[in-house]
Amino acid sequence: MTIKKILMLASMALAVVAFAAPAMAQANDTWTTDGEPIPGPLDPTTVVVHGELSSKVGNFTTGPAVVHGHGDIWNGEEMGEGQISNFTITGELAVGPGLPSSCKATGTANNLPWSVTATTGVVDISAHFTNHYNAVCQSLGFPASATAHGTATGTVEGNCLKFNNSGDMTTSGGAAVALTGKVCITDAEGEGVIGTTPMP
């Protein structure tokens, strides 16, 4: 093979790499609001998280719980990033099915802030929370409390995240924890935030 042919093949290979690079860069998403990308880590956008979530361990579901949080998001070099710095789980939560209505739980968020990343139409949140069960639940065999931790994965639906048993959350004892429900993310003015689009 002549030097000319080798150089020609090398230039063709470089052209293929240059063409493929933009497609590879689009594997991850960027946060947008009102169709415009949110700035980078030096200028994060403050957001409000609100919705309803339930957690299931084995045959029993706790919730739905009204949840509310605050945090910051920004666009990193490769993906949308952020953190939830405050998160509350409100009210007495139903536990069931098939249990007395007096069996209730409350929830608390632990180990804040939680990290957030947006990749290819999903958002991963490194969540950590504890459900506290009342005396009625405990008399039925529930522990006083059960802590869950791991990655909660939500599918992007407009400006909301839909949780449908995705992620790798477990209890401290190793039992699988499934999250269901939906939370929405808005900026300080109430405008929807997510609407993720591929990184340019």
Cα separation, 129 vs 112, whole angstroms:
10
Local confidence band at 24 (pLDDT 50, 70, 90 cut-offs)? very low
Looking at the chain, the whole-number percentage of residues with pLDDT higher than 70 is 80
Residue 15 pLDDT > 80 = no
Distance of alpha carbon 68 from alpha carbon 184, whole angstroms: 10
Mean pLDDT of 70-91: 92
User: pLDDT by residue (tens digit) across 114-140?
Assistant: 999 988 788 999 999 999 999 999 999
d(CA 73, CA 75): 7
Q: What is the pLDDT of residue 85?
A: 97
User: Who wins on pLDDT, 77 or 58?
Assistant: 58
Q: Check residue 10 and give its pLDDT.
A: 39
Chain centre to alpha carbon of residue 116: 6
**pLDDT tens track for 172-193:** 999 999 999 999 998 878 877 7
> What band does 19 get if pLDDT is binned at 50, 70 and 90?
very low
